[in-house]
Structure formats: C-alpha cells, structure tokens
Amino acid sequence: MSKAIEIEDFSYGYSDGTAALSGITLSVEHGQKLALIGPNGAGKSTLLLAMAGFAKGTGKVLVDGLEMNRKNLKKIRTCLGSCLENPDDQLFMPTLFDDVAFGPLNMGMAPEQVKLRVADALQTVGLAGMADKAPHHLSAGQKRAAAIATILAMRPKIITLDEPDGSLDPRNRNNLIKLLVNLPQTLIIATCNMDFAAALADRAVLLDKGQIIADGDAKKIMSDSKLMTEHGLEVAKKMK
Amino acid sequence: MHHAHIDKFAYQDSAIHRLDSRVKAIVVLVFTAVVISLPRTSPSILACYAIGPFAILVWARIPLRFVFKQILLVSPFVLVLALSCPLYDKTPVTLNFGPFHWRSSLGWLRCFVILGKFTVTMLALIGLVSTTRFNHLLAGLQRLRVPRLLVIQLGFLYRYIFVLIDRAHHILRARAGRKLRHLGFRAELRTAASMLGSLFIRSIDTAEHISTAMQARGFDGRWRTLSKLKIRRSDVLFALIAALFMLGLHVFVRPVLP
C-alpha cells in the first residue's frame, strides 16, 4: 500500500538564491499525526506547499502514491487538503456556505451532495447553523474552524495545517485540539508551539534552516531540552 | 475590528428583502437609467422620482439616518462636480414654483439637478444593497450574464475591503505610536508613500495566498456556486409596480424646461 507522503531528496530555493529546503527525505504513513516543528523560517510552510504542489523544486514528491506532476495535480489536491496559516486567505467567498461548498463544487459533485457535505463539515467543526454568515463576521476561533471545514468538505485523505493555533486564545486552541485529534485523516501540522504539537502528534519532524534535524517519536523529540533549545524551541510544558 | 458594513441591513427580513436579487437589480438599473436620462428639469420632478426608492427603504425598515450617512460618505466626488457648474455657466434663468419665481443661473440649476439625480439614484442603490445579501446579489449578477470576471472581482472586493481597511488602520496606528514629533511635509509624504507601498505589497501577498487556497481546492478558472435564486409571483408583481411607477411619472409628470 502506498504511503500518504513520500519525499525523496527534495530541495527548493527562492528566486533570490536562498535555499529554503535542501535534501528533504520524508515519508508519512496513512493515519499518522505528524508535527512539523521548527523555528520561524525553518522551511515548514514551504515543505507543506511542496506537498500540495505549490513549491516546485528538485527531487521526488509522491502523495498517496501519485507522483507530483502536472497530470496528477488535480488528483493530488483532491486527496490532500491544505489549510493556510491565515484563515482570511482561506475564506474568500461572501458566505461560509459558499466557501465550504467551493471545493466540493470544483470536484464536480451534484448540488444535493454538496449541500450534505457542507452541512456535515460545518457540524464537525461546531459551526452548524452559521452557513449564511459572512466570513468577516466570524471570530478568530470561528474563522479557524471554518477554514478547516473548507478542507473537511472535500474529505481528503491527508490534511496539512500551517500554524493552525496562531492567534487563538486557550479556549479556542483546546477546541481546535479536540477537533483535530478526532479526525481520522493523516494530519501534518506545521507549528512552533510545542504544547499544541505535543497534544496532537504521535510523530515529530524537527526542521531547521531547510533541513531535517530530527525525525521520530513526538514525545522523545519534544522532551529533549538540549535539542529544542539548540534550534530555538522549548520543551512542551507537560513534558517538563 | 468592527466595521459598519454597507449591507448590514440586508440580513433583516421583509417582503422587499425576500425579492429575487435579479429583479431588484434590473429595476434599480432601469430606474437609474431613467433618472439619469431626465432632461434639465426642475428639482421638484426629481422629488417625485425619489418617492419610489424612499417607499422601498421605509417598507424594508432601513433606517433613513443610515441611508443619508451612506449618501454623505460618497457625496464629495459628486459635490465637486456639481459645485463647479455655477462657475462656468452663468446664463440667467427663471424657475417657477407655482406662484413663486426664482431668478438664478443655469449653472446653479445644473448643480441642483446633478445633486438631485445623485441623491435619487443613490437612494435606489442603497435600497438594493441594504435589502439584498451580497452573495445573492453576486449570484443574481452572474445569472444576468454580467461578465464572470467582474462578478468575481466584486466578490473579492466585498470580502477583502475590510481586511485592507484593518491593515491600513494597523499601519496608521504603528506610525502614530512611533511618530513623536512633527516631521515636516516632505518626511510625512515619504512616510505616507512607504505606508502605501507596504499596504500594496501585503495586498499582493494576500492575493497570492488566496490564489493558493483556491487552487488547493480545485479551482481551474471556472467559478462554481450553488445559486438559490427563484422568480416568484411577488417578484413579477414588484417588477410590474416598478414599471408602472416609472411609466406613470414619465407620462404624467412632464419636465418644464426653463
């Protein structure tokens, strides 16, 4: 059976010559909850973009067994849902309903099926009954949940989330953890919040300066205070 | 941050709110064309035309204070145009209001007519926006075969104008927090240019992120939405009443040219 993600010797550089990622080799099993940890500018977001085919570099990227190329791009983006860092970028339609329906409609689903998917996704993230709301009328926590709903409605096998806990208060962060921990999909979460990562992930990949520094059991990596401090991170509170 | 949204009353419920957005949009478009094409006429005739949108605003329970505030917000552009009329056209005219006569210039008459037409058409436009949810309006425009690109851009404008305003406020606040003395005109101008540049670059960034989010959800250039519009008997009745109102004014209220 194919793996959720297989990346082999992947490198990516910005147009000014700065190397964002170099020699990344990574494989993620289906159903795994992986935390991509690392300081700011480590290359976490770029790696997530590479998984969705937005950062084209050298090396090999396979998503659910499909090689990243122009021909497979549509299939890849159907099975891998990307949730961007800023929910305002993710929610671009006039209403929540239209936003959540955007993906399923582009997948060619029938209107009745789309409506069911939207209702189901909003129910899952706790926003049932808010379909007619405009995204700019939502709170920060609701926007984050709505951004996840836009992905859930497409029922992807793999979900990537870029700093999903950013600008959330503790209550909303806990709600988000409860939501994500119960999702059956493969989750790849880029974050520099160790408490958040520790609450969700069973595996951690530490990235710094575009390279993988450590890869293994989340608890083991995130409780290594020397490793964490060396790379500008901290040990999660519950691991101290 | 809280914003006074232009469509904040569009979420109310009334017979006007429930009308199909396409019917409302067409009526407002025709009404605007009729009002604009009125010849140089006395402002009193424009007052007759104002009855229609005024009745709709009252029926839909849109606070008139809000309406006039919105008109005032966009009036500076028209005010400049209108107030320049008396400067270049001083041909004397006499206006008759029943037993009253007023000697003025054609420039002033033009000024009042421009302001009158602006107010009446704005009443209709605010009536449309305040009684129609923006997504329904966009769906209506799309069904009326307004170019898709224009509809998409309108949607983005509505969605992101407030994000942009928020960012501008943040930049202004950051500047105010560090500007501890008067910098002089040139330095102020330079700062303003940098601020605008920063806003522009961040807007481009946002546009790129939105494009990423759209492509990640399968966008291939075709805009797909689930339109929930349906023409009912009340829509036909509204269109008929609006047509009769405009036709009646056209036939019975004749403009008197000075």
Minimum Cα–Cα distance from B208: chain A residue: A89
pLDDT band at B45 (very low <50, low <70, confident <90, very high): confident
Q: Is B124's pLDDT higher than 90?
A: yes
CA distance A77 to chain B (A): 6
- Rounded Cα gap, residues A36 and A7, in angstroms: 14
Per-residue tokens: B24:
């409302």
Those of residues 19-78 in B touching chain A at CB distance below 8 A are none
pLDDT tens digits along B75-117: 888 899 889 988 888 888 877 767 777 788 888 888 888 999 9
Q: How many residues does chain A have?
A: 240
- Rounded Cα gap, residues A130 and A108, in angstroms: 24
B186 and B132 in one domain? no
Q: Is B127's pLDDT higher than 90?
A: yes
Burial class (CB in 10 A: 0-12, 13-18, 19+), B36: exposed
pLDDT band at B4 (very low <50, low <70, confident <90, very high): low
What average pLDDT does range A20-37 have in this prediction?
Answer: 94
Instruction: Say what the pTM is.
Output: 0.79
B26 and B136 in one domain? yes
- Per-residue burial over B39-75, b if 16 or more Cβ lie within 10 Å, else e, is eebbbebbeebbebbbebbeebebeeebbeebbeeeb
B194 and B103 in one domain? no
Report the percent of chain A where pLDDT is more than 90. Answer: 75
The per-type count for chain A, helices as H runs and strands as E runs, is 10, 10
Interface test with B, best of A51, A83, A89 (most B CBs within 10 A): A89
Minimum Cα–Cα distance from A100: chain B residue: B217
B244 and B120 in one domain? yes
Q: Inform me whether the C-beta atom of residue A14 falls under 8 Å from chain B C-beta atoms.
A: no
pLDDT tens digits along B218-243: 888 777 888 778 899 999 999 999 99
B161 and B124 in one domain? no
pLDDT tens digits along A126-173: 999 999 888 888 888 899 999 999 999 999 999 999 999 887 888 888
Across the interface, which of B5, B155, B215 has its CB nearest the CB of A93? B155
Q: Supply the pLDDT for residue A115.
A: 95
pLDDT band at A217 (very low <50, low <70, confident <90, very high): very high
DSSP character at residue B68: H
Q: A99 phi and psi, to 5 degrees? A: -65, -45
What average pLDDT does range B165-193 have in this prediction?
Answer: 84
**Which domain range does residue B188 map to?**
148-216
pLDDT tens digits along A51-65: 999 999 999 999 999
What average pLDDT does range B143-152 have in this prediction?
Answer: 90
Cβ-based neighbours of A125, under 8 Å, separated by 6 or more = A145, A146, A148, A149, A152, A179
Cβ–Cβ of B217/A154 closer than 8 Å? yes
For residue A134, how far is the Cα from the chain centroid?
24
Instruction: State the average pLDDT for chain A.
Output: 91
Cβ–Cβ of B210/A89 closer than 8 Å? yes
pLDDT band at A1 (very low <50, low <70, confident <90, very high): confident
Residue, of B191 and A45, whose pLDDT is higher: A45
Closest CA to B56 of B14, B25, B11: B14
Minimum Cα–Cα distance from A55: chain B residue: B212
Cβ-based neighbours of A39, under 8 Å, separated by 6 or more = A192, A208, A231, A232, A233
B95 and B193 in one domain? no
Across the interface, which of B155, B209, B226 has its CB nearest the CB of A94? B155
B126 and B168 in one domain? no
Q: Inform me whether the C-beta atom of residue A93 falls under 8 Å from chain B C-beta atoms.
A: yes
Residue B110 forms part of a structural domain = yes
Across the interface, which of B156, B216, B226 has its CB nearest the CB of A105? B226
Q: A65 phi and psi, to 5 degrees? A: 85, -5
B74 and B126 in one domain? yes
Cβ contacts below 8 Å, chain A against chain B, sum to 93
Residue type, B128: L
Burial class (CB in 10 A: 0-12, 13-18, 19+), A46: buried
Residue B258 forms part of a structural domain = no
Tally of CB atoms within 10 A around B239: 19
Per-residue tokens: B220:
């291939």
Given the candidates 3.40.50.1820, 3.20.20.70, 3.40.50.300, 3.30.300.30, the CATH classification of the domain at A5-239 is: 3.40.50.300
Residue B95, SS3? strand
Lowest mean pLDDT of A220-229, B37-46, B186-195, name the range. Answer: B37-46
Minimum Cα–Cα distance from A106: chain B residue: B218
What average pLDDT does range A3-19 have in this prediction?
Answer: 91
Q: Supply the pLDDT for residue A189.
A: 96
Residue, of A35 and B180, whose pLDDT is higher: A35
- Rounded Cα gap, residues B54 and A40, in angstroms: 56
DSSP character at residue B255: -
Closest CA to B113 of B93, B143, B137, B136: B93
Q: Is A201's pLDDT higher than 70?
A: yes
- How many CA atoms does the CB half-sphere of B238 hold within 13 Å? 24
| First-residue to last-residue Cα distance in chain B | 51
B242 and B134 in one domain? yes
Q: Supply the pLDDT for residue B5.
A: 63
Q: Inform me whether the C-beta atom of residue A75 falls under 8 Å from chain B C-beta atoms.
A: no
Q: Is B180's pLDDT higher than 80?
A: no
Closest CA to B248 of B58, B25, B51, B57: B51
Cβ–Cβ of A102/B217 closer than 8 Å? yes
Q: Is B50's pLDDT higher than 60?
A: yes
pLDDT band at B41 (very low <50, low <70, confident <90, very high): low
Instruction: State the average pLDDT for chain B.
Output: 87
- Rounded Cα gap, residues A78 and A169, in angstroms: 31
Q: What residues of B are in contact with residue A54 (Cβ under 8 Å)?
A: 212, 215-216
Q: Are A34 and A27 in contact (CB under 8 A)?
A: no
Interface test with B, best of A105, A154, A161 (most B CBs within 10 A): A105
Q: How many domains does chain B have?
A: 2
Domains of chain A by residue range: 5-239
DSSP character at residue B243: H
pLDDT band at B11 (very low <50, low <70, confident <90, very high): confident
CA distance A215 to chain B (A): 27
pLDDT band at B255 (very low <50, low <70, confident <90, very high): low
Residue B15 forms part of a structural domain = no
Q: Supply the pLDDT for residue B3.
A: 56
Per-residue tokens: A122:
């909003």
- Rounded Cα gap, residues A149 and A145, in angstroms: 6
